Chains A and B, each alone.
Chain A
Amino acid sequence: MTNTTSPITLGHAEAATPIAPGRTPWEQEAIGFVIGFALLALLPLIFGDTYARHILIMAFIYAIVASNWDLSLGYGGVFNFGHLALFGIGVYAYSLLTKLAEFDPWIALFASGVIATLAAILVTIPILRLKGIYIILVTFGFAQLVMQVIISQSAITGGTQGLVRIPGLYVFDHNMVRDGKSAYFYIALALLVASTLFLRVFVRSRAGASIVALRDNEEYAVSRGVSIVRQRMLTLAASAFFTGIAGAFYAAYQRNASIDVFGMSLATIILSMVLLGGTSTIYGAIIASFVLTIFAEWMADFGAWRPMITAVLIIGVMLAYPSGLVGMIKASWGAVAGRLKRPA
């Protein structure tokens, strides 16, 4: 990053990273991060059956997609409604690379992330001059465009039928099918850890601070030398990489690809994870992904009532707690802490 942003040179290099008031020190966050993910890594010991593990794997995938969406939506303030298209691009990139081009699955997984990133850069171009609702509409249009292209090229992509028998991932000679899904569980968890680490480091960096500055006061940020074009592209590209990888992993895990990933219902669920968790936290989206995925499973007996109950729940939380579950936790924690320690 060029030094044009701060004309006043500071005495020491450590001051380069801006510390916002009320921000958790990184040491504390690192401890919480390690403990939290270590607990997740121990979950297969409790949940031995493959179905429970399957639910957890899906929750991890959704958590990656939702937390990356939080980067562009929450921190960047860019309403990218094509985020699920980036996920879908990951799904189809992996499927086509492994099935038609016969790439090694791991290379294809990585390449899918790169392809999704390139697609994100491409979609940034038309929205550079736009704001708010217009960004929603163009990115929404982009998602539909990608879907229509995939449907129309049915000779390669399988069209509305989708693709089946997609090669899965492998770990040396380990049998991926008969291990009670534990290999896929740990790969998904590793991806979530990598993605979360990347997102948290990004939002705590100078670049992260600059995209928040652009969101909160664009004129001032631009006048201080933050490039809106470069930072917006950076935001979307950064949010796309792990989203694409999550899509590729989803395809490898499910062993099939279908056009449903572009549908409104998945987008609504993931978006509610982002908003339910509370934007601009990263962790909120991850927590909400677990809560919603497990909640949806827990309600499996309700059948047709399930989506309706979920919808009512989403509306209820949005009306009562505009800052989402994290705001809800903070508010109740504040009430508890207030009782324990009365302010002077």
Chain B
Amino acid sequence: MSALAEILFGGLFQGSLYAMMAVGLALVWTTIGVFNFSHGVFMMLGAYIAWQLIELGLPAAVAFPIAVVVMAGVGWILQASVVRPLIGRPNIVLVVVITTLAAGSLIENGALTIWGPRSKQIPALIAGNATIGGVGVSLHQIAIIVITPLILAALWVFLNRTRLGLALRAVAQNEDASHLVGLNVTALYGLAFAIAASLAGLAGIFMGGYRFMSPVMGSDPLLKALIVVVFGGISSISGPIFAAYLIGFFEAACSYYFGLYWTPALLFGVLILTLMVRPEGIFASRSRGLA
């Protein structure tokens, strides 16, 4: 019983964080058709901005939303500076990989210079601990498990029920037609990046509440988010969400039964197998040209 509860809880918790990260990656991929390798750095920056605001004396309830909004601005700026000028180039996928990697390195080293290498921590969403099903958990983690699906649901409503969200999806489906019907495609590209960056920043705030922060804290979650996105299919938003939880459970079960060391290797083995059998991802019905 306690083993099952532990796997279930661990899977839900890790899955929530992965989902927050992966959705942003998938959103940028579907709308712009590029992979944002500075996504992990967004996560780190969100956490550090929140930490800095709290250090300046703001209460957490004010600091967290401000950090998320600031991250939206960072995402927009990054898109305008290193992604938008490249749109239309034949080798855009590759060039954006290198420009976002370079931008990530710039922000990461900038954070290291400003805030130093010493580990920091931001306050938990809710302090305290609880015991559920024989497993000791912190209320912070419970809060993340509850809040994440709400945010993802809000994103779903935004993308499916609002005019702006539909415009975003229209750009994702057919860019030329979106131009023709008068959508401001450039602004929508910026919006996709802004949403992705604020979600990553929020994930960073969540993570900074239970683990020590460092300037390189985003690289491992980025890697996991990449796996999730590939696993779930790159062409939709819901695919990566399901995949995030599935990978979360898989990881929790693996580390319970095989130990922490073998988990990443098993995970990558599963990933490569998935791609050999279903290159478009297990939850995808249609793909964006696989290119």
Q: Which residues of A contact B (CB under 8 A)?
A: 73, 79, 125-126, 129-134, 136-138, 140-142, 144-145, 148-149, 151-152, 264-265, 268, 271-272, 275, 279, 304-305, 307-308, 310-312, 314-315, 318-319, 322
Q: Let me know if B155 is at the binding interface, CB within 8 A.
A: no
Apart from A145-B269, A268-B105, what are 19 other A-B pairs with CB-CB below 8 Å? A79-B93, A126-B275, A129-B279, A132-B93, A134-B275, A144-B264, A145-B264, A148-B261, A265-B105, A304-B109, A304-B112, A305-B113, A308-B110, A308-B113, A312-B102, A314-B98, A314-B99, A315-B102, A322-B95
Q: Which of A151, A279, A308 contacts B106 (CB 8 A)?
A: A308
Pairs A-B, 10 closest by C-beta atoms: A311-B106, A145-B268, A311-B102, A132-B291, A152-B261, A314-B102, A148-B264, A311-B105, A307-B109, A148-B265
Chain B residue, CB-CB nearest to A263: B219
**CB distance A136 to B35 under 8 Å?**
yes
Q: How far is the CA of A73 from the CA of B91 in the complex (A)?
A: 11
Q: Is the interface of B mostly helix, strand, loop or mixed?
A: helix
For window 99-116 of B, CB contacts with A under 8 Å fall at 99, 101-103, 105-106, 109-110, 112-113
How far, in Å, is B120 (CB) from chain A's closest CB?
18
User: Do B290 and A315 have beta carbons less than 8 Å apart?
Assistant: no
Q: 25 pairs across A/B with beta carbons < 8 Å?
A: A130-B279, A130-B290, A131-B290, A133-B29, A133-B93, A133-B234, A141-B227, A141-B230, A141-B268, A145-B269, A148-B264, A149-B265, A151-B261, A265-B105, A271-B98, A305-B113, A308-B106, A311-B102, A312-B106, A315-B102, A318-B98, A318-B102, A319-B85, A322-B91, A322-B95
Chain A contacts for B269, CB-based, 8 A:
145
* Contacts A145-B269, A152-B261, A318-B99; A133 near B279 (Cβ below 8 A): no
A308 to B107, CA, bound (A): 8
Chain B residues engaging chain A, CB cutoff 8 angstroms: 29, 35, 81-82, 85-86, 89, 91, 93-95, 97-99, 101-103, 105-106, 109-110, 112-113, 219, 223, 226-227, 229-230, 234, 261-262, 264-265, 268-269, 271-272, 275-276, 279, 290-291
Cα separation A308 to B264 with both chains bound (whole Å): 31
User: Are B95 and A318 neighbours in the complex by a CB distance under 8 Å?
Assistant: yes
Name the residue among B95, B105, B262 with the largest chain A CB count within 10 angstroms.
B105
Cα of A268 to Cα of B100 in the assembled complex, Å = 10
From B105, B227, B276, give the contact of A307 (CB < 8 A). Answer: B105
Q: How far is the CA of A134 from the CA of B264 in the complex (A)?
A: 19
How distant is the Cα of A59 from the Cα of B106 in the complex, in angstroms?
23
CB of A268 within 8 A of CB of B101, answer yes
What's the Cα separation between A310 and B106 when bound, in Å? 8
**Is the Cβ of A315 less than 8 Å from the Cβ of B109?**
no
Chain B residues within 8 Å of A126, by CB: 272, 275-276
Task: Find chain A residues with CB under 8 A from B82 CB.
Answer: 315, 319
A265: nearest residue on chain B (CB-CB)?
A: B105
CB-contact partner of B265 in A125, A137, A145, under 8 A:
A145
